[in-house]
A and B are shown apart, each in its own frame.
Chain A
Amino acid sequence: MSVLIFADQFQGKIKKAAQEAVQYGAKIAQQLGTTATAIVLGEVDNAELAALGNYGATKVLHVADAKFNDADAGVSAKTVVEAASKEGSKVVIFSHNFSGRAIAPRVAAKLKAGFVAGAIELPDTGSGFVVKKNVFSGKAFAKVNITSDIKVISLLPNTFAVEQGASTAQVEAFAPAVSDADFKVKVIKTETISGEVPLTEAEIVVSGGRGLKGPENWGLVEDLAKALGAATACSRPVSDSDWRPHHEHVGQTGLTIRPNLYIAIGISGAIQHLAGVNGSKVIVVINKDPEAPFFKAADYGIVGDAFEVVPKITEAVKKLKSGS
């Protein structure tokens, strides 16, 4: 009966989005009067697995076979479905990150389970099983009732603050009935952006737009990001003109992010850009054009020249951080 949570790992580390998903699943388990079981595929240290107890998992099913390190959506889904059946799970949780988006729909189809992708609240079990999610690219929310017996939900990353408890989960080896033929997608190369927080998991994001005039001025964004311990992002024109790589592009055709703090420098705030960032808790806009539409969506704003204002902000942040 336990709530099953797919906790994904990347190169042996459990992702923050996965910890958040475990915490979410554990809270649903509490609502339903049951326990939370996480499932992890691929090589991960036992201590790292047991630490999922900190986020509310009672048990961790671990498929330690190295073949699963980068298992494709099909074989991962097959494994999760087998685990769900072993646990008798009626609720299966994923993070709505890249791996969740690949695997969760397959699991839902296989279990014939209603699926809500990108949930932003705990389900309301008062009447039915109603989950709130983002729709229209963050411009509205929908309440969706899942009417099937088994339910699959993916949680939008950075929706809840991750709180760390002090419990240890019991780790149990799990060997699903899959064969070599089930591994259909072969990974031939993985390129990682080393040493950086994934944008979708970053607490603070500093983002730059066309107002920065050229790639030679990107240091402005990077310096402030560094001072704040933030990730950097950009608007579509900046990635389209190759000042910055596409994986930093936030907006409707790029990434959707929900940091605690989003600082937009020289971005006018077209509706397509807002779609990618409007879930941010606090939005700061720095733009010399007082008519920039972004100010309407902002919590704090400075109408001014970024080249003068931003270095002062960076200095003030450094000063504050060194003092505290």
Chain B
Amino acid sequence: MKILVCISKTPDTTAKIAFTDNNTKFSEAGVQFIINPYDEWYALVRALELKETLGGTVHLITVGGADTEPIIRKALALGGDEAIRINADSHDSYYIAAQIAEHAKNESYDLILTGKETIDYNGSSIGGMVAELLDLPYVSIAAKLDVNGQTATLNREIEGGEEVVEVSLPLVVSSQKGMAEQRIPNMKGIMAARTKPLKVVEPAAVDTLTEVVGFELPPAKAGVKLIDPNNPEELVKLLHEQAKAF
């Protein structure tokens, strides 16, 4: 099994969200960065489990500047064998997917895994775009992935239910909760990660099709209206008459 896991650097889930430069840039002051949780907990850990049972290698890829190297090292410490960093900074999903596809097209991966979305741009697009650019089948938002020979069996969430699907490798999968459990890197892994290969590759010439022109924070809530716990009927009245919520 040769597996590629796409990872992305995101602010920690509890990071304060603020913007600078006239609301055009995310403020990184005091923000801790992590591997996007869906990429790490589900895609990467499941890739490692498959490698442990079936043998093979796990490659990591990220599109980002040198500031992404700490998260790449962490992914290597968890058990990735080698990493590729495409040296470019972009928030356009097509640009990022095209860079990943450009790398993957000559590598004959059996599986390419991504998280279901990143927790910063929430695009949930990279997996599908990579699949299209490589002309591979794509199973999105999978909660379970098993491989038996050349066949993968997956559970994927659909509106109001779940599907069990079967598909031949090679395959692109976006991963969500259920697929694996979070792991903590051990000391041996952290030491080994220091010397694992991390290849820096200059980006291919690809068009950027979208650009972020500005950010906004949601309007502040007016503040909670507290209702006497001895008179909860008042809540129902307010929801019906004032908020017209039902």
Contact B213 A141 (CB under 8 A): no
Min CB distance B237 to A, Å, is 8
- Name, among B141, B240, B245, the residue most crowded by chain A CB atoms within 10 Å (CB to CB): B245
Min CB distance B223 to A, Å, is 8
Min CB distance B9 to A, Å, is 14
Tell whether B158 is near chain A: CB-to-CB under 8 Å: yes
Contact B229 A74 (CB under 8 A): no
Interface residues of B in 143-197 (CB under 8 A from A): 143, 153, 156-168, 176-178
Contact A261 B245, CB 8 Å, known A70-B163, A284-B239, A302-B229? yes
Give 11 A-B pairs besides A99-B158, A105-B125, A109-B132 with Cβ atoms closer than 8 angstroms: A77-B132, A97-B159, A108-B125, A117-B125, A142-B214, A143-B214, A188-B166, A253-B176, A272-B14, A298-B224, A308-B229
Tell whether B64 is near chain A: CB-to-CB under 8 Å: no
Per-position binary interface string of chain B over residues 58-73, scored 1 when its CB falls under 8 Å from any chain A CB and 0 otherwise: 0000000000000000
Per-position binary interface string of chain A over residues 161-196, scored 1 when its CB falls under 8 Å from any chain B CB and 0 otherwise: 000000000000000000000001111111111001
Tell whether A145 is near chain B: CB-to-CB under 8 Å: yes
Tell whether B218 is near chain A: CB-to-CB under 8 Å: yes
A to B CB contacts below 8 Å, 24 in the list: A70-B163, A73-B137, A77-B128, A97-B159, A105-B124, A105-B128, A108-B125, A115-B209, A117-B123, A118-B123, A142-B212, A144-B213, A145-B210, A187-B164, A189-B164, A191-B164, A193-B160, A247-B157, A247-B162, A253-B177, A272-B14, A300-B235, A304-B229, A317-B246
Interface residues of A in 141-165 (CB under 8 A from B): 141-148
**Complex: how many Å from CA A300 to CA B209?**
42
Which stretch, A44-52, A130-138, A209-217, touches the partner chain B?
A130-138
Per-position binary interface string of chain B over residues 125-138, scored 1 when its CB falls under 8 Å from any chain A CB and 0 otherwise: 11111011100011
Name the residue of chain B whose CB is nearest to the CB of A17. B159
**Complex: how many Å from CA A196 to CA B245?**
20
Chain B residues in 8 Å Cβ range of A297: 221
Tell whether B30 is near chain A: CB-to-CB under 8 Å: no
The majority secondary structure among interface residues of chain A is mixed
Contact A110 B217, CB 8 Å, known A115-B94, A253-B37? no
Contact B229 A309 (CB under 8 A): yes
Chain B residues in 8 Å Cβ range of A295: 224, 226
**Complex: how many Å from CA A197 to CA B57?**
43
Contact B225 A301 (CB under 8 A): yes
